[in-house]
């Protein structure tokens, strides 16, 4: 598996876990076909960088799924930003097992009609099925040329999502 | 009189989620958008729930600043971060706990009931 395939695979697994945690019953799904119209209206974008990696994540979720997971009193745009932040947070924790650290920027939410991201290398988005709804993520990640992603048990002591430590 | 919990997070959605969980269980919530904002609101708080990565003053800087001021306010970190070196840094600075988002409401309440004495 190439570095890029591994990154996509990790992000895909992170999405399933995150959406499941909010009761959306996520399943990995095939990427959209070339030219398929996605009708995106709300998307969150976050950048990330570190010594070995840099890039951007864009997350779009169908309104139905966004509203199903929306905490009472929250705005959909704020919630989408938080979901993007948590998705990238999970990704960061997964990459820590490979000795890759990254810093996450503040999410930016874009509202519009037929949003159409243009990603380097024409990377197809990741897609998750959330019942009748869908989520898409564009991961534009660039690893330093000398980096080989090898999982290390010594680096696996990351506190898991949902876990509580008391000191 | 309800105990006041200081909720520090730059995400409005998380502040809302935590606030709802606490206010519906008899606590009063004071919200702050980052560590610097929180420093001005600690007076009446019985404990703080604090994000780590925030613009301005981040969560660990807030814990350190509180310790430097001699504060005994219990602070529990609530974050997407799970790296052991950050957990250790927060612990050393004086934080009382570390929760990785998404939080479980019953777990949050358990911690607040225990620490907001």
Q: Does pLDDT of A156 surpass 70? A: no
Pairing of strands B28-32, B4-8: parallel
Q: Does pLDDT of A122 surpass 70? A: no
Question: What's the pLDDT band for A38 if we cut at 50, 70, 90?
Answer: confident
More reliable by pLDDT, B117 or B53: B53
Q: Is B26 on the interface with A (CB under 8 A)?
A: no
Interface of B with A in 92-111 (CB under 8 A): 95-104, 107, 111
Structure tokens at A135: 């989520």
Distances (CA, A) of B95 to A14, A20, B51: 28, 30, 12
More reliable by pLDDT, B24 or A148: B24
Q: Is B31 on the interface with A (CB under 8 A)?
A: no
Structure tokens at A26: 């996520």
Best mutation target among A17, A19, A85, A155 (most B Cβ atoms within 10 Å) is A85
Q: Does pLDDT of A145 surpass 90? A: no
Residue with tokens 């959406």: A19
CB B101 within 8 A of CB B50: no
Q: Does pLDDT of A126 surpass 90? A: yes
Question: What's the pLDDT band for A155 if we cut at 50, 70, 90?
Answer: low
How far apart are the C-alpha atoms of B88 and A163, rounded to whole Å?
A: 15
**Chain A contact set for B81 (CB, 8 A):** 89, 92-93
pLDDT score of A132: 92
How far apart are the C-alpha atoms of B62 and B39, rounded to whole Å?
A: 8
Q: Is B10 on the interface with A (CB under 8 A)?
A: yes
Q: Does pLDDT of B24 surpass 70? A: yes
Question: What's the pLDDT band for A160 if we cut at 50, 70, 90?
Answer: confident
Q: Which of A17-31, A80-94, B23-37 has the lowest mean pLDDT?
A: A17-31
**Chain A contact set for B114 (CB, 8 A):** 166
pLDDT score of A59: 97
Q: Which of A6-10, A147-151, B46-50 has the lowest mean pLDDT?
A: A147-151
Q: Does pLDDT of B54 surpass 70? A: yes
Which residues on neighbouring strands pair with residue B4, listed in sequence order? Answer: B28
pLDDT score of B20: 95
Question: What's the pLDDT band for A64 if we cut at 50, 70, 90?
Answer: very high
Q: Does pLDDT of A86 surpass 90? A: yes
Mean pLDDT of A68-82: 94
Residue-wise pLDDT for B106-117, tens only, equals 999 999 999 997
Q: Does pLDDT of A149 surpass 90? A: no
């Amino acid at each position: 598996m190439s570095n890029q395939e591994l990154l996509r695979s990790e992000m895909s697994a992170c999405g399933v876990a995150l959406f499941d945690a909010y009761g959306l019953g996520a399943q990995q799904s095939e990427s959209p076909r070339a030219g398929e119209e996605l009708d995106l209206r709300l998307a969150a974008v976050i950048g990330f960088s570190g010594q070995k990696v840099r890039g951007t994540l864009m997350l779009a979720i169908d309104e139905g799924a966004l509203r199903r997971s929306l905490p009472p009193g929250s705005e959909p745009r704020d919630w989408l930003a938080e979901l993007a932040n948590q998705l990238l947070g999970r990704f960061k924790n997964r990459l820590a097992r490979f000795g890759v650290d990254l810093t996450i920027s503040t999410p930016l939410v874009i509202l519009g009609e037929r949003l159409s991201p243009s990603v380097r290398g024409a990377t197809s988005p990741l897609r998750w099925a959330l019942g009748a709804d869908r989520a898409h993520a564009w991961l534009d990640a660039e690893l330093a040329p000398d980096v080989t992603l090898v999982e290390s048990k010594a680096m696996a002591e990351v506190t898991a999502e949902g876990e509580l430590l008391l000191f | 009189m309800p105990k006041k919990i200081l909720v520090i997070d730059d995400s409005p959605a998380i502040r809302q989620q935590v606030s709802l969980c606490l206010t519906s269980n008899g606590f009063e919530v004071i919200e702050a958008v980052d560590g610097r904002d929180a420093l001005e609101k600690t007076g009446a708080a019985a404990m703080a729930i604090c994000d780590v990565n925030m613009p301005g003053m981040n969560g660990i800087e807030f814990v350190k600043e509180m310790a430097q001021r001699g504060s005994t306010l219990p602070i529990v970190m609530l974050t997407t971060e799970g790296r052991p070196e950050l957990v250790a840094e927060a612990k050393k600075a004086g934080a009382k706990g570390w929760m990785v988002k998404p939080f479980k409401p019953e777990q949050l309440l358990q911690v607040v009931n225990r620490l907001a004495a």
